[in-house]
Amino acid sequence: MAILPVTALKRIQKSYRNSFELSLCEITPSGHCPDKKDAITNLPALVNVRNYGLAEAVRWGEPYIFFLLPNVISWIIPVVKEKEILGGLLGGAVMFESDPHDRLETINQLTTSGCNRSTAQNYVKNLPTWTNRERPQKAAEFLFALTCCELNWDMLRLSENRKKALQQRQIAEEIHRRKQKPGARAFMDDERTLISLMKAGDKKGARRELNKTLGALFSHTADIRLIKAHVIEMMGYLVRSALEESPHMSALIEKNHAWMTKIIDASDFETLSNVVADALDDFMRNIHLQGHSQTNETVARILNYLSGNFHESVTLEALSKEIGLSTFRIAHLVKEITGKTVLQHVHQLRVQEAQRLLEKSDMNCTDIAYETGFGDQSYFIKQFRKQMGITPARYRRLYQTGKSGLENDD
């Protein structure tokens, strides 16, 4: 049974072959290539290797490069629809060395796996030889991006796994660095850097710094209770620092209580890391929202109200009742202090929430439009594109393929 629609597979195959002169092969979740009837492709040993490769590709949410045989490199692209693993695309197989002894080793491995020698020799003889060690990575990434852009599917599982994998790698790198250079940097230095990145609105930088901080904590102790104590202390420091600079951010105190409960309830280090990452996103949104209102308590109250109610139908009349000022005064004050209208703030909050839902959920655009308060899908798409420069669907695809830049839509 085909994994991809026939027309989509043909387009992917054509573009991939033109770029790398290799053919694709669909594989099942078990690692079989059902369309290949030759004597080698579905040898049990090779099927097992591909099965493992596909599992790793799904686990990390990205292409997986591996040795199919001694000196023979291959790569697998996971194909996931929402959270269902359909199988994968095998990007071909190439010899990585042209030395006769290496080829002999590959032939011997095939014969040991159950292939007759003449067939093995012919297979190895026809394999392309690549000497550029970066080329397999480029081919795998090209095929992954091509597949994600071609399919109009929500590959939610992959994007979630990719985010977790990046977090784990950054934490592991920091743990290793701390072990190599103990005492190189104090926790307080990490926290100061973190809050600076948050104030600057550098979401990626803040996440990276947070992962480094978590890695530093884990390198200091493996006791989850002590790590939780450090994390709670860190969150308290971030809230205190925000309040010292802007006393109007008192809403963070209440939010901090909710975060503390989740941190205390976390059963392991991975769960704890995910909770802190979510708290960071929420924290950054509040800091960004309050960035222009540090000297005006009334505007701070208005923005706090918008932050908690943007998904509802927000009107100047409702704000007037909540704040105790006329609609004219509210509109004028917000525009004067922040440089944006009330509606622009609401749209910004809704688009930020839409970004989060596009990244972390499998909700379609219609559901996201209602969930964020836009109500109408076409209006949601128009406002999202106005702020982000691309449509929600393209944003999701780019996020899922791990691209760092968001190009303008055609």
| Long-range contact pairs involving 403-406 (C-beta distance under 8 Å, separation at least 24) | 403/145, 404/204
Q: Is 89 helix (H, G, I), strand (E, B) or coil?
A: strand
Altogether, the residues listed in the chain come to a count of: 410
pLDDT of residue 293: 46
| pLDDT per position as a tens digit, 9-58 | 999 999 999 999 999 999 999 899 988 888 898 888 898 889 888 988 88
In angstroms, what CA-CA distances link 53 with 6, 46, 74, 138? 24, 10, 9, 17
| pLDDT per position as a tens digit, 142-175 | 998 888 777 766 555 566 666 666 666 666 665 5
Amino acid identity at 169:
R
Nearest to 16 by CA among 179, 207, 146: 146
| pLDDT per position as a tens digit, 330-356 | 888 888 777 778 898 899 889 888 988
Q: What is the mean pLDDT of residues 245-263?
A: 72
> What CA–CA distance (Å, rounded) separates 317 from 325?
10
What angle is formed at CA 324 by the lines to CA 319 and CA 328, rounded to 5 degrees? 65
- Terminal Cα-to-Cα distance of the chain (whole angstroms): 35
Widest pairwise Cα distance in the chain: 89
Phi then psi for 66, rounded to 5 degrees? -155, 165
pLDDT of residue 201: 52
Which range is least confidently modeled, 28-37, 85-94, 249-258, 368-377?
249-258
Amino acid identity at 224:
I
Residue 93's pLDDT band (boundaries 50, 70, 90)?
very high
> What CA–CA distance (Å, rounded) separates 143 from 26?
13
pLDDT at residue 409 greater than cutoff 50:
no
Q: Quick one: tokens of 86? A: 């359909």
> What CA–CA distance (Å, rounded) separates 324 from 6?
62
